[in-house]
Chain A
Amino acid sequence: MEKIYRLLEELHSEYDFAANDGVIEEGVLDSFDIISLVTMIEEEYDVIIDALDIVPENFNSVESIANVIRKSGGVI
């Protein structure tokens, strides 16, 4: 989990991701952020995220991001 927080903070150091129990409000991550985040996750966890899994409900919290990584075969 901490690794995911670290990746998110790399994108938006000004946003406190930990403050809301990992809930990511709509609009914090824009389209460029999502693409960067997916690339970072794929490198960090050595997985390939299925494009069909890149949908809002999978990126609205740290927990849901973790679930996508698990689904892609990554170990959290």
Chain B
Amino acid sequence: MRTNLLDYLKVTSDKVPNKTAVIDGERNISFRTLTDQAKKMGCIINRKISGTIRKPIAVFLDKRFELIMSDIAIMYCGNAYMNLDTKSPIQRIRNIIELIEPELIITNHQHIAKLEKVLPSEKILNIDLIDFDNEIYSQDVLDHILNSVIDTDPLCIINTSGSTGVPKGVVLNHRSFIDFTEWSINTTGIDDNEVIGSLSPSVFDIYSFELCMLMALGSTIVILPDGLAAFPTRILQLLQDHHVTFIFWVPTIMVNIANLDLLSRIQLPALRSIWFAGEVFPTKQFNYWRKFLNQSKFINLYGPIEITLDCTYFIVDRELSDDEPIPIGVACKNTDVFILNDQDKLCGVNEEGELCVRGSSLAMGYYNNPEKTAAAFVQNPLNRSYPEIIYRTGDIVLENDRGELIFKGRKDSIIKHSGYRIELGEIEHVIINTLKIVENGCAVYNHEKKEIIFYYESNEEFQAAEFKKRVGEMLPKYMIPSVYYKMDQLPRNTNGKIDRLKLRESLSELIK
């Protein structure tokens, strides 16, 4: 019986110790080296935090081998990893750390200076100071720890944008990842020869699934460096060089590749599985991919992080016309999804409503945040007999005549931009309440041009550059609006609240 992701890794590293687990630039690291180092590191962490388990430990490293090894080390010492974006402004890191209060933060020479202002030094572990050749680990200690960890204990914490200016830390357990991994092995045709072209930032759930594949299937992770997102040509060359078989990407980069017509120039015969999630993949560009990679299996996955990775999938099994949306498909095994209308009644076929999810894939909640947890994880309104929690996604969907779910849009002000989930309210909160640049404003997403626009009321007009500079000190780059419009008066609805919908409508008219 598997109750911990490390149960998979034990089998894999016993079976193929010499196989390459991680390719990081010029370095090829075997499963033996990876597990040895992770166990040593796990013991070091365990000593440093006096045997504490089930607590968050932050990792402030770029996506290199050391990050992967640290995440697995944190599992070995019975705790939950929380990867932090090293490119994020330090103020945002501080907000996260103040909310989550991790036991320890792992970093290196390159990034330690940024943290010294945020945390006391005894809470910081500099990985560059560890001489792994002279460290040993105790299997007994590790076994003892793992015997105390059960499958509903946290594996990781993933932060997601929150409207109050502080991200929410989603707590995900081992069981939900094991479920998804089992589903994927049984359903999607992935096997024990996968080479993963890993492009996902370490703060995305996709990265955590790549870790699951590494542990469960002995997959090799090829790290595609962060900075390459701007250079799809080089990314595809790396896929070709390493005979990558599997990618799980957000559509943004795939659309760029299609628009540059790169697949006609760079052949990828080894690529068998192409998964995508995180935002809508426009069908025109998707069809381009399918035309050039007809040997591959394409899977559209859907799911907010609160239900662990994804809850529905669509294996593309037919031709789709350019103007037809790619369905998000049907529920993954051991997950139930259903659509509720405004009266909390089940929707009929072709009736739009909010997608709700139940099952062991649900997150445990938001860390140190009972109010937000209670608002999003609620009693199933269809079950009045016993406690049963569902997650209301806020996504509007419908079920078509084929029984497939189709994504229609959002109920609220959350957007997906370059794969990142962004609460527009967080941007407004930072500009208006934290930085106090203007008194009233509203962020709107231009879906056509894929840019965030900030409308504001003010006596003076500010340069976009000034906004960008100041907002950039508080928010990561992907959250900084690129266009700023001063208005004499923002449109208000009958309650006097700024009318985001109206701004968005006037925006679409402008584009037409």
Chain A contacts to B: CB under 8 angstroms? 13-14, 26-27, 29-35, 51-56, 59
Contact = CB atoms under 8 A, between A and B. Distances in A.
B261 interface: yes
Contacts, number: 48
Interface string B448-492: 001000000000000111001100000001000000000000000
A14 B468 contact: yes
Nearest to A56: B231
A33 B233 CA distance: 16
Contacts of B87: 27
A56 B261 contact: no
A29 B232 CA distance: 14
Given A14-B465, A55-B231, A30 B477 contact: yes
A3 B239 CA distance: 35
Nearest to B450: A32
A54 B260 contact: yes
Contact of B234 (A13, A30, A56): A56
17 contacts: A13-B463, A13-B464, A14-B465, A14-B468, A27-B227, A29-B230, A30-B477, A31-B229, A35-B256, A52-B233, A52-B262, A52-B265, A53-B233, A54-B231, A55-B234, A56-B227, A56-B228
Contacts of A32: 450
A31 B234 contact: no
B494 to A, nearest CB: 37
Contacts of A53: 233
Given A13-B465, A14-B465, A27-B87, A33 B261 contact: no
B257 to A, nearest CB: 9
Contacts of B232: 54
A15 B229 CA distance: 20
* Most chain A beta-carbon neighbours within 10 Å: one of B87, B233, B262, B469: B233
B190 interface: no
Nearest to A13: B465
A15 to B, nearest CB: 10
Nearest to B237: A55
A54 B233 contact: yes
Nearest to A37: B230
A35 to B, nearest CB: 7
B253 interface: yes
A31 B253 contact: yes
The 7 closest A-B pairs by CB, nearest first: A31-B230, A51-B260, A34-B230, A13-B465, A31-B229, A14-B465, A26-B227
A51 B261 contact: yes
B469 A51 contact: no
B231 A30 contact: no
A27 to B, nearest CB: 6
Nearest to A54: B233
A56 B469 CA distance: 25
Contacts of B468: 14
Contacts of B262: 51-52
A6 B469 CA distance: 19
* Most chain B beta-carbon neighbours within 10 Å: one of A14, A33, A59: A14
A13 B418 CA distance: 23
Contacts of B418: 31
A23 B469 CA distance: 21
A34 B265 contact: no
Contacts of A26: 227
Nearest to A9: B465
Interface in B211-265: 227-234, 252-253, 256, 260-262, 265
Contact of B230 (A14, A33, A51): A33
B229 A51 contact: no
A48 B386 CA distance: 65
B465 A51 contact: no
A51 to B, nearest CB: 4
A59 B261 CA distance: 20
A34 B227 CA distance: 12
A31 B261 CA distance: 16
A49 B274 CA distance: 28
A14 B467 CA distance: 10
A53 B232 CA distance: 11
Given A34-B231, A56-B228, 20 more contacts: A13-B463, A13-B464, A13-B465, A14-B465, A14-B469, A26-B227, A27-B87, A27-B227, A30-B229, A31-B230, A31-B252, A31-B256, A31-B418, A33-B230, A51-B233, A51-B260, A52-B233, A52-B265, A54-B233, A59-B230
Nearest to B478: A30
